[in-house]
Amino acid sequence: MLRVGIVGASGYTGGELARILALHPAVELTVATSRSHAGKRLSQGYPHLAGIVDIVCEDLQGSELADRADLFFTAVPHQTAMAIVPELLQAGKKVIDLSADFRLDDPVVYEAWYQPHTAQEYLAEAVYGLPEINREKIAAARLVANPGCYPTSIILALAPLLKNGLLDPATIIADSKSGTSGAGRSAQVGSLFCEVTDGFRAYKVGEHRHTPEIEQELAKLAGSQLTVSFTPHLLPISRGILSTIYGALTKEVDQQELYELCTAFYRDEKFVRICRPGNFPATQYVRGSNYCDIGSKVDTRTGRVVLVSVIDNLVKGAAGQAVQNMNIVSGFAESLGLDTVPLFP
| Residues classed as catalytic | 149
Pattern 49-88, its own copies, x by CB under 8 A: xxxxx-----------------------------------
CA angle 94–36–144, rounded 5-degree value:
20
- Regarding 181 and contact with its own copies (CB under 8 A), the answer is yes
Of 134 and 313, nearer to its own copies (C-beta) is 313
Per CB under 8 A, which of residues 2..31 are in contact with its own copies?
12, 15, 19, 22-23
How many residues at the interface with its own copies, by CB under 8 A? 82
Contact window for its own copies (CB under 8 A) among 81-89, 92-100, 152-160, 184-192: 184-192
Asked if residue 223 lies in contact with residue 163, where contact means CB atoms within 8 angstroms, the answer is no
**Burial status of residue 188 (CB atoms within 10 A of its CB: 0-12, 13-18, 19 or more):** exposed
What distances in angstroms separate CA 251 from CA 65, 171, 185, 247, 296, one per listed residue? 54, 14, 45, 12, 16
- Regarding 257 and contact with its own copies (CB under 8 A), the answer is no
For residue 329, the minimal CB distance to its own copies (Å) is 24
**Burial status of residue 109 (CB atoms within 10 A of its CB: 0-12, 13-18, 19 or more):** middle
- Regarding 173 and contact with its own copies (CB under 8 A), the answer is yes
For residue 281, the minimal CB distance to its own copies (Å) is 7
Residue 167: left if φ>0, alpha if ψ -120 to 50, beta else—which one? beta
- Whole-angstrom distance, CA of residue 253 vs CA of residue 296: 12
Q: Return the amino acid letter for 51.
A: G
- Whole-angstrom distance, CA of residue 295 vs CA of residue 275: 5
Per CB under 8 A, which of residues 186..245 are in contact with its own copies?
186-189, 191-203, 205-206, 227-229, 231, 233, 235-240, 242, 244
**Burial status of residue 145 (CB atoms within 10 A of its CB: 0-12, 13-18, 19 or more):** buried
Per CB under 8 A, which of residues 323..342 are in contact with its own copies?
339-342
For residue 114, the minimal CB distance to its own copies (Å) is 17
Which DSSP helix (H) or strand (E) runs through 85?
A: helix 81-90
Contact window for its own copies (CB under 8 A) among 46-54, 66-74, 106-114, 156-164: 46-54
Of 145 and 334, nearer to its own copies (C-beta) is 334
Per CB under 8 A, which of residues 276..315 are in contact with its own copies?
279-289, 293, 295, 297, 299, 301-302, 304, 306, 308, 310
